[in-house]
Structure formats: structure tokens, C-alpha cells
Chains A and B, each alone.
Chain A
Amino acid sequence: MHDTEHASHDHEESFIRKYIFSLDHKTIGKQFLIYGLIMFFVGGGLALLFRWQLAYPDEPLPIIGASQQYLDEGEVVTGADRMWERIYDSDKEEWLETNMPSGVITPQFYNMLFTMHATIMVFFVVVPILVGAFGNFLIPLMIGTRDMAFPILNMLSFWLAVLAAIVMAVGFFVPGGHAAAGWTGYAPLSADPQWTGVEWGQNLWAISLLIQGFSSLVGSINYITTIINMRAPGMTLFRMPLVIWSLFIVAILLLLAFPVLSSALALLIFDRLAGTTFFSATAEGGGDPLLWQHLFWFFGHPEVYILILPGMGIASELIAVFSRKPVFGYRSMVWAMIAIAFLGWIVWGHHMFQSGMRPGLGSIFMTTTMLIAVPSAIKTFNWLGTMFRGSIRFTTPMLHGIAFVSMFVIGGLSGIYMANTPVDIFIHDTYYIVAHIHYVVFGGSLFAIFGGIIFWFPKMYGRYMNDALSKIHFWLTFIAFNCTFFPMHILGVGGHMRRISNPQQYEFLQGFEGMNIFITMSAFTLGFAQLILVFNFFWSMYKGKVAEQNPWHVNTLEWEAPTPVPHGNFGQIPTVHRGPYEYSVPGEESDWIPQAQPEHAPATSGD
């Protein structure tokens, strides 16, 4: 088949067209990746601030906090003391003075910190990297096409996300502070400024998420259209790599779920600014706080699967490639993802077992929720099956893939406790749920993200990431992650509530001080370990070892494209002859057969 359209527009593009307002899916993917990494540091930094407060309640922060002498006697000893002296002497109401006088985090600021930590991590880190970066970069390359169906919409999607981040950032500096009602924004706390004292912070939070919703919507339409219409000849749906399946399913979830959040946010803004009472509970108002919870979680639970499904897709790629084996039960992997996505729509009530929702509904939601164990188990066993009788290469991306599976097993099993209504009575709103969500979204999604970055970096930037640094980063992250989040299960079993700024106020939590300090120390280690990743990322972009075209010997189409991938991706659009995981086929000399390799031709090295 001759490709008449010559897509490599080789004319020189201006810097702005090429790197800023780019229409190229690869550039937009990289933009989302860097965007996500920057926001990762903002979100992580906020977490370290409130972890300090939990370990050392009401003690001044290190470095910027005032010294004990200054607090006791007003004697200026350190540089930080001088700074506070200057702040207290000035007539202006300084930001630092409002939020952390002398370096001590106020309860209101504490609420803002965990609210914004979760908001940023969910909406500005994990979704932009998994869906925005990997989705954009991988979909056209892996299905064998030149770009997305709607390149201008694609660019719009990124710049809307930037606008959303700017609006969200402004919220930190408005009078009254940023949103402090939790990332779930439960009404009426979020719906009326009188309950929190937060004025424009909460409004900007809602507006920013509305914009982010449009960004996701535009992106998801693009992904769905591209995957349905633009697959290379021979690329049937069941020849698509699992990561593309996962992104396809996630795009459908985003398309259907985000409008629900947008509607809820619009109603919230009306309640706050126009005096409506959709979520308020006054007898004459006619609204109901539970309406917010239903709308939020009807979006929120599919959102949780939006956060994990692409991670599952990436892990499947990594495990198959580095076990040199086909994915065990490819079709059941696809159907399991579809089942998870479908069940995701009928389990939202498990967030509301203790909310005052009719108890009979609790039993129904318990049943649907526990059923998610079935497709999750199918996936886990299939990953094990993929490694069974394989030839496992312990590359750094593979380590991340294995970590993904192990952490997902813990996160999945801990979910059963909360799905169980009677047990949930006790552990609801405790650190148990904090442990669970972090095992799924950090232990799961982020390990997949790290693995994916290292795996596709050679295709993105034409160079390898430094392997020694990557390995140090992996082991530090893996150990510090478990030291940070595993003890939170124990806190939860002890009844330690989430979202409290000072556990020392409670007699029954007195025994947990040491554990909270340990968690904080581990969290700081975890945070610093991420600096290694970012240094490695930017350093390798320019100084890394130059990579060949297909360094890991992978079958899928993105490795058919030259490195660095030109505008238009492929010289001639490849034709697909087989499924994506034909590794170690008996009778073949090579242990891999690229999807684009014609039948009965001798295997050639892609280098």
C-alpha cells in the first residue's frame, strides 16, 4: 500500500509553534509530562508541610520557623527570627503571618494544605501525566497514525490545563486563603463562606476544576475519535496494546464522568455567589448536603479508576516486554478493564456508608463494591501468569512494573475492609482510607508512571535516563513509600481520624506519636528521593546516553518510528500483521516479532 500523503512537514517551524503552541501530539505529551512533574513538586511540598505538623504538632517548622528563644523571650537568634521580627514589625498583613505565625502551621492553614495536596495530586499530577502525557505521546504512535484526530483541540486541552493551574495557584494568595474543605469539598462546609472563612479561595478552586474539566473533555473526545478512526491497517481493536485499551476506556470514563463534576461545581458556585441553596440544608431552602456527595462521588469513583487503569495498562506493557512473553489472557485483561470501568459507575455509595444514606442502600453498594475484587483479581493473576515461565529482565522499568503489581495487591486488599459496611463503620474517615488511597494512587499509578517514563524516555528524547540514578530512585522510593504509608493502616486500626491537625488532643491516640514521627521522616525521605528523578530526567534529556531506535526490543508500533520521532511519526504508515505481544514465539530465532513485520519474513533487528 502506497502512502501518498507525505506527512513530514519538514519546513522550519518557529520556536513558539514548535515548543509552545505546538500541534504535534508528541510535544503536547511532553508538555503535559513536564507540567505534571512541576505540579508533583507543589503537591508533594504541601504534604511535607502538614506531615511536619502531624509529627510535631504546633512546633515551628525547621529552617523557616522561629527559634525557641525567640518564642519564649523574643530574643532574635537565627536568621528566621530576624525574618519573623521584620514581618511582625510591618503594618501589612503578611501571608506568612496569617498562615504560619513564627513558622507554626495554623489549623486553618493545615486544612488548606491537605485540601490542596489532594486536589493538585489528583487533578494536576496523576491525570495530566497518565492521560495527558502518556495518552498524547503513545496513542498515535502505538496505533500507527501521524497525529491526533484534532490537533488544535489537543493544544487547547493543554493550554486549558495551564490556565486551570494558574487559577488554582492564585487561590493561595487571595484573602481568606485557599479552599480548606477537603478535596471532596463536602457541602455545606464548602457551600457557604461563613463556615470556613474562605471566600474566593473556594470559588477559584471550583472555577479551576471547571476549566480542568473542559481540558479533560476536549482531550477525551480526541482520544476516542483517534482510536476509533485512525488505527493503522491491520490494527484491529484486539491487536491494540493494553495501554491503548486502558487509555481508550479512561477517555470514555472522562467523557461521561467529568460533566457530572462540572455540574456539581456550577451548582456550588451558584450557592456561594448567587445565594441559591442547592446544597444547604435550611428548612426553607429545599437543598440537601447529600446531593453534593452523590454528585461528587458519581464523578469521583470513576475518577479513581481513571487514576489507576492507565497504570494497569503501562504495567502490562512493562511486564510482557521484560518477561519476553505474551500477556497472559490478553482478552480477559481487556474485559477485566471494561468490567472495572463499568462497575465504577455503580459503587459511588461506598464513600457514603456513614453519611446518613439509607442503610439498605449501603448493603447494595457493599455488594457491587466487593465485586470489583473479581476483575482486580483477574488482572493480578494474569500479571503473575505473564511472568510464569518467562525470561525476566530486571531492568528499572520492570522493577517499577513489579512494584506496581505488589503495591496494587496491598491497595486492592485493603479496599475490601472499607467495602465491608460493618468494618467501614470503624475505619471510615480514619488513616486506613489514607493508606488505601495512597497504595492505589502512589503505589499503583505513580510507580507505573515512573516505570513508563524510564521505558519511553528513549523514544521521547532519543536518550536513555541514567540507569544508576534510576535504580537509586526506585529503591529509595519503594522503601520510603512503604515506610510512609504502611504504618497508616495501623493508625487507622487504632481509630486515628484523618484531617485532624493535632492527634495529641485525643487521649486514645496518645500511643501514636512515635509512629507519626516515623511516617513524617519517611515522607521527607520519599520527597527528597523524587529530586533524584527530576534531576535525572532533565540531565538525561541533554546528557543521557544516546538510544537506538528500539532499545528494549519491543513489538509495538511506537518503536517502528525513527528516533527522535519526526513530525508525522512514520515515513510510511506501518501495516499491522499480528497482536502486540508476540514474544518468544516457538520456532523463531528472535524472541520478538514486531507487529509491523510481514509474515514469513526473517526477524530483523530494529536497531
Chain B
Amino acid sequence: MLQWLPENVSTFGQGVDNLFYAIYYLTLVVFILVMGTLIVFLIKYRHQEGKKADYIEGSTTLEIAWTAATTVIVFVLAMFSYPQWNNIKSPTQFPENPDVVVQVSGKQFNWDMTYPGPDNEFGTDDDLELENELHVPVNAVVHIRLTSIDVIHSFFVPQLRLKQDALPNRFINVWFEATKAGRYEIPCAELCGFGHSGMLGYLNVHTQADYDAWVQERWPQ
């Protein structure tokens, strides 16, 4: 089933995918064991003339065993998940000194991208605003200030394994580092009105040379 996952092109995406695979195999094994047992029981203990069911009220040992086993599995899985989650979402753990900082603002039904320009400050004359086109270099840390001007939207880049809701009047920090140049879609993943379907931006991941050329073109020195 997991071959349906889109290609991963972010540094943290592999960690997400590993957990995905771990849970997939864990649940697959549990599923096969439970369903296998069920089917065996259904066949073996089907009603047969002259055979009575055994009177069994339960087993404390078994109850304790499967309660303990499930609890242990749950906590082990949680322990492996905390660092991945914090790595992706906790602003205190983001890589410092980003190579690019962009403000992304959702509005019905577009993504507005704002670059701070050479002075690295938003709200100045050299800011650059683009509709639905985000440009970043490959293998570089990108920080996004995510916000919205109307309703809740959700910034989703499937290939980056990244999704974050954009809230009006609030700035949420997001980071990623893309590992492969290309053009990727940025759908909105949270219902935002009649134009929700088709609210679509693009993430253009350039090689460093192409990105430098793009910067040169936008802000000629």
C-alpha cells in the first residue's frame, strides 16, 4: 500500500516515512494475527450437533498479558515519535540561520508569497509579492511565516511530508529543507469555502545556481 506515497524530497520526510512503515508493518501483523485467529475460531468452533460450548468465564492472566503488551507497544511507539515530531514542528528545534525566509499567507483562494528582499525585513520597499509561486534553493533551510488573511487554510506539500494550518491573525513558523529540485504542488488541505478545491500554489525548488539567477533577476544589484 505504501508505494502510493508520493516521492519524499525533504530532509525530515524520511523520518516520517520510517514511522509510517513501522506502523504499517506493526498493524499488518496485528491484523493478520487477529483475523487469522478469528477465522480459525469460526471454523473450528462452529456449531456441531451434540457438541456443547465450553463454559469459560475469562482469564485474569490473559487480561493482564494483553493489557501490558499493548501498553508497552504504545509507549515504545510514542518514544520513537516524539523526536520526529519536535524536529518538524517545534520552533525551538528548528535549524537556525535559515537560508531563505518567506511569508506565506492564505486567502480565498490563493497563496500569497512575500519575500523580505535583500534587507531581510518584511514591510519594506524591497519586499516581493508573488501569487501562488514559491521559489527556494535545493538543500537549503527555508523558514516560512505562515498566516492567513481570512479563514483557516492548510499549507500542504505532499512531497515534503509537510502540512500546517494557516490561521488568521497569527503567524506560525514552519521549516523545511528540500533535497531535490523540481516543481511541487501546494494544495490547500483545510476546507476554506467554495473555491477550496483548486486552491493551489507551486513550490519551485531550484538548484543553487538557478536560484541565484532568479534572485539576481528579481533584485538586480
Q: Which residues of A contact B172 (CB under 8 A)?
A: 356
The interface centre, meaning the residue of A410, A414, A426, A586 with most chain B CB atoms within 10 A of its CB, is A426
On whether the beta carbons of A354 and B164 are closer than 8 Å, the reply is yes
Q: Which residues of A contact B169 (CB under 8 A)?
A: 281-283
On whether the beta carbons of B85 and A389 are closer than 8 Å, the reply is no
Q: Which of A156-164, A358-366, A460-468 contacts B (4 or more CB under 8 A)?
A: A358-366
Q: How far is the CB of B204 from chain A (nearest CB, A)?
A: 14
Q: Which residues of A contact B51 (CB under 8 A)?
A: 391
On whether the beta carbons of B66 and A381 are closer than 8 Å, the reply is yes
Q: Which of B15-23, B112-120, B210-218 contacts A (4 or more CB under 8 A)?
A: B15-23
Q: Which residues of B contact A505 (CB under 8 A)?
A: 197-198, 200
On whether the beta carbons of B89 and A497 are closer than 8 Å, the reply is no
On whether the beta carbons of B193 and A289 are closer than 8 Å, the reply is no
A423 within 8 A of B: yes
On whether the beta carbons of B84 and A422 are closer than 8 Å, the reply is yes
A98 within 8 A of B: no
On whether the beta carbons of A354 and B34 are closer than 8 Å, the reply is no
On whether the beta carbons of A591 and B1 are closer than 8 Å, the reply is no
Q: Which of A75-83, A180-188, A547-555 contacts B (4 or more CB under 8 A)?
A: A180-188
Q: Which of B2-10, B95-103, B122-130, B132-140 contacts A (4 or more CB under 8 A)?
A: B2-10
On whether the beta carbons of B85 and A363 are closer than 8 Å, the reply is yes
Q: Which residue of B lies closest to A410 (CB)?
A: B31
On whether the beta carbons of A390 and B185 are closer than 8 Å, the reply is no
Q: How far is the CB of B148 from chain A (nearest CB, A)?
A: 8
CA distance A111 to B42 in the complex (A): 43
Q: How far is the CB of B88 from chain A (nearest CB, A)?
A: 6
On whether the beta carbons of B194 and A354 are closer than 8 Å, the reply is no
Q: Which residues of B contact A499 (CB under 8 A)?
A: 191, 196-197
Question: A189 touches which one: B6, B154, B189, B192 (CB < 8 A)?
Answer: B192
23 CB contacts below 8 A, A to B, read: A111-B191, A111-B196, A329-B62, A330-B57, A332-B58, A356-B164, A362-B85, A363-B82, A363-B86, A367-B78, A373-B73, A380-B34, A388-B56, A389-B53, A389-B56, A392-B42, A405-B38, A413-B27, A425-B161, A499-B191, A499-B196, A505-B197, A585-B55
Q: Identify 19 new A-B residue pairs, CB closer than 8 A, beyond the known A281-B167, A497-B156.
A: A186-B151, A282-B168, A325-B53, A329-B58, A360-B90, A362-B85, A363-B82, A420-B81, A422-B84, A425-B88, A425-B161, A428-B189, A429-B190, A493-B1, A493-B2, A494-B6, A495-B156, A505-B197, A584-B53
Which residues of B are at the interface with A, using a C-beta cutoff of 8 A?
Answer: 1-2, 4-6, 15-16, 19-20, 23, 26-27, 30-31, 34-35, 37-38, 41-42, 45-48, 51-59, 62-63, 66-67, 70-71, 73-75, 77-78, 81-82, 84-86, 88-91, 108, 150-152, 154, 156, 158-159, 161-165, 167-170, 172, 185, 187-198, 200
7 smallest CB-CB distances across A and B, nearest first, come from A329-B58, A495-B158, A281-B168, A281-B169, A500-B197, A389-B54, A584-B53
